[in-house]
């Protein structure tokens, strides 16, 4: 590709081409700290709005209650999940698995069509890094060049004050984020109770919170873009997911090359230069330290900062915007913009259908889930002179918030069901277990192993039907033969 060739030549210095080194590792093999310039522009403003909404949702959601319970809860300790106010139990595992598979397909199709839109606009790592921690850094340490100067200067009062204030604020935010995560796991009421008890009464939880806080603090204070560059599996998948039609943040090398500095009042078209004035504004704003003019790179999180930076340069020198823009490789090489094409529309339709299927499954899943098992190591019992009985165990999971009285009926045969103990009532959001007898007239049984069906009712409403076996004496099989 001509673009690649040109930039390779341009980039060959003592570090070789951009393919020979990582932007965040210096010549000495140590971490090269990135000081990106604060972006400005239309896309940055839009991303800021999206980030503010997502941050508000993240911090407010644990406080939202629905019918007295959290609106969202991921209690892995008690295996209880509430998603958008709907209770889920391990019995709903198949729906969760389907939802996860759909989500993975969604991510794959979405990425094939729209590239790393997720990374730039909605990924928690980008949102916290660029719109929380980086903003605090700009506030305390100043612009990118002031930050670079501060890092290079010897430790004096100003540096100690700014660095310690920054890290104190970082740690405090990491502590708030860790507590918010815990609220998603155990619920805000439980968290409040833990806080009121104090750390000494709950030393394990307190240590867990400090560990969480330490991890968040380390990621956002030190590890930063390395999460996207070397840890995130989604980032690693880009090379197999993207193709020439995927929408990415791309540099229009056909229009931009050959790049060259702008000489005053020069007519670029007649001077043989492309539209790129080699000002490197797109490089200085990049949070992963790359040069988008080298083409699509794994490090690019599609944050659009370079689009805004280049657009403002183009505006200043009176050239059309969009030298760096959302486009596909094909769109750039063939010179026509193609954000929406037949392929993206087809993929979007598949995604819509998948989401619809999962939403339907979620909506129509049963309110009460039942599991019936014959009590292990038991055979049939004589029940008076004319009947046999088998003993079963039933487990009922109530996924609603109201108490559900349950009635069992033998559907497949004439016979009775006798529940042992109190009447079967499953409390809202609870699990109830009970034993019961199925009693059948001996004349009903044809073999020693009979398939029976038990209906489970709430009043007159059939909740579900359950198939199991009823054991009789082996002599029945001989009579059949």
Of residues 305 and 372, the one with the C-beta less far from ligand SF4 = 305
Non-local (6+) Cβ contacts of 361 within 8 A are 95, 98
| Smallest distance, ligand SF4 to C-beta of residue 288, A | 5
Measured between alpha carbons, how far is 277 from 271 in angstroms, rounded to an integer?
Answer: 12
The token pair that represents 114 in the structure block: 């729209």
| Among candidate residues 439, 450, 441, 438, the one with its CA nearest the CA of residue 474 | 450
DSSP result, 394-437: EEEEE-SSS-EE-EEEE-SSSEEEEE-SS--EEPTT-EEEEEEE
| Smallest distance, ligand SF4 to C-beta of residue 149, A | 22
Of residues 87 and 301, the one with the C-beta less far from ligand SF4 = 301
Non-local (6+) Cβ contacts of 476 within 8 A are 445, 446, 447, 448
Of residues 276 and 471, the one with the C-beta less far from ligand SF4 = 276
The token pair that represents 95 in the structure block: 């729906």
| Smallest distance, ligand SF4 to C-beta of residue 96, A | 33
| Smallest distance, ligand SF4 to C-beta of residue 24, A | 12
Residues 56/68, Cβ–Cβ less than 8 Å: no
| Smallest distance, ligand SF4 to C-beta of residue 217, A | 23
| Smallest distance, ligand SF4 to C-beta of residue 298, A | 10
Of residues 217 and 251, the one with the C-beta less far from ligand SF4 = 251
Strands 73-75 and 415-419, by their bridges, are unpaired
Chain centre distance of CA 40: 28
Of residues 197 and 339, the one with the C-beta less far from ligand SF4 = 339
Of residues 41 and 62, the one with the C-beta less far from ligand SF4 = 41
Handedness of CA 59, 61, 64, 68 (dihedral sign): negative
Measured between alpha carbons, how far is 115 from 476 in angstroms, rounded to an integer?
Answer: 67
Of residues 92 and 275, the one with the C-beta less far from ligand SF4 = 275
Measured between alpha carbons, how far is 199 from 223 in angstroms, rounded to an integer?
Answer: 28
| Smallest distance, ligand SF4 to C-beta of residue 94, A | 39
CA angle 93, 99, 102 (to 5 degrees): 145
| Smallest distance, ligand SF4 to C-beta of residue 127, A | 14
Of residues 82 and 310, the one with the C-beta less far from ligand SF4 = 310
Measured between alpha carbons, how far is 364 from 104 in angstroms, rounded to an integer?
Answer: 22
Site of interaction with ligand SF4 (CB under 6 A) = 249, 251, 256, 259, 276-282, 285-288, 290, 292-293, 300-306, 309-310, 313, 323-324
Residues 331/258, Cβ–Cβ less than 8 Å: no
DSSP result, 81-115: EEETTEEE-GGGHHHHHHHHHHHHHHHHHHHHHHT
Of residues 291 and 369, the one with the C-beta less far from ligand SF4 = 291
How far, in Å, are 50, 55, 181, 426 from residue 59 at the CA level?
14, 6, 9, 34
| Smallest distance, ligand SF4 to C-beta of residue 119, A | 8
Of residues 18 and 88, the one with the C-beta less far from ligand SF4 = 18
Of residues 43 and 410, the one with the C-beta less far from ligand SF4 = 43
Chain centre distance of CA 359: 17
| Smallest distance, ligand SF4 to C-beta of residue 46, A | 14
Residues 397/369, Cβ–Cβ less than 8 Å: yes
Residues 64/71, Cβ–Cβ less than 8 Å: yes
How far, in Å, are 42, 78, 200 from residue 191 at the CA level?
40, 15, 15
| Smallest distance, ligand SF4 to C-beta of residue 107, A | 19
Of residues 244 and 360, the one with the C-beta less far from ligand SF4 = 244
Residues 391/445, Cβ–Cβ less than 8 Å: no
| Smallest distance, ligand SF4 to C-beta of residue 18, A | 12
Residues 303/225, Cβ–Cβ less than 8 Å: no
């Amino acid at each position: 590709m001509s673009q690649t060739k040109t930039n390779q030549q341009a980039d060959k210095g003592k570090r070789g081409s951009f393919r020979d080194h990582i932007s965040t590792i210096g010549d000495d093999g140590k971490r090269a700290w990135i000081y990106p310039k604060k972006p400005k522009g239309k896309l940055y403003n839009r991303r800021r709005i999206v980030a503010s909404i997502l941050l508000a949702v993240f911090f407010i959601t644990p406080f939202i209650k629905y019918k007295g319970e959290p609106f969202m809860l991921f209690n892995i300790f008690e295996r209880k999940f509430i998603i958008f106010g709907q209770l889920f139990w391990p019995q709903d595992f198949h729906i969760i698995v389907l939802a996860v598979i759909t989500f993975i397909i969604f991510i794959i199709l979405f990425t094939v069509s729209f590239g790393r839109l997720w990374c730039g606009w909605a990924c928690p790592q980008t949102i916290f890094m660029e719109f929380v921690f980086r903003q605090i850094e700009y506030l305390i340490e100043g612009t990118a060049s002031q930050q670079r100067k501060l890092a290079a200067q010897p430790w004096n009062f100003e540096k100690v004050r700014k660095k310690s204030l920054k890290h104190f604020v970082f740690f405090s935010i990491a502590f708030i984020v860790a507590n918010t995560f815990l609220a998603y796991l155990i619920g805000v009421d439980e968290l409040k109770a833990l806080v009121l008890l104090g750390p000494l009464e709950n030393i394990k939880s307190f240590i867990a919170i400090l560990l969480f806080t330490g991890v968040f603090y380390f990621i956002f204070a030190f590890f930063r873009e390395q999460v996207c560059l070397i840890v995130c599996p989604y980032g690693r998948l880009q090379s197999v997911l993207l193709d020439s039609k995927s929408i990415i943040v791309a540099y229009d090398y056909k229009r931009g090359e050959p790049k060259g500095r702008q000489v005053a009042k020069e007519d670029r078209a007649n001077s043989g230069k492309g539209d790129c004035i080699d000002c490197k504004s797109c490089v200085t704003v990049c949070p992963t330290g790359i040069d988008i003019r080298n083409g699509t790179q794994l490090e690019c999180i599609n944050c659009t900062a370079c689009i805004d930076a280049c657009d403002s340069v183009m505006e200043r020198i009176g050239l059309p915007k969009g030298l760096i823009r959302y486009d596909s490789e094909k769109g750039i090489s063939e010179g026509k913009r193609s954000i929406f094409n037949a392929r993206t529309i087809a993929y979007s339709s598949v995604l819509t259908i998948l989401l619809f299927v999962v939403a339907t499954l979620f909506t129509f899943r049963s309110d009460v889930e039942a599991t019936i098992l014959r009590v292990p190591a038991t055979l049939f019992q004589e029940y008076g002179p004319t009947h046999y009985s088998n003993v079963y165990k039933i487990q009922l999971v109530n996924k609603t918030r109201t108490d559900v009285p349950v009635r069992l009926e033998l559907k497949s045969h004439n016979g009775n069901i006798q529940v042992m103990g109190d009447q079967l009532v499953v409390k809202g959001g609870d699990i109830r277990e009970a034993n019961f007898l199925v009693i059948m007239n001996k004349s009903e049984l044809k073999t020693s192993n009979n398939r029976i069906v038990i209906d489970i009712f709430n009043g007159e409403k059939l909740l579900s039907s359950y198939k199991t076996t009823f054991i009789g004496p082996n002599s029945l099989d001989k009579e059949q033969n």
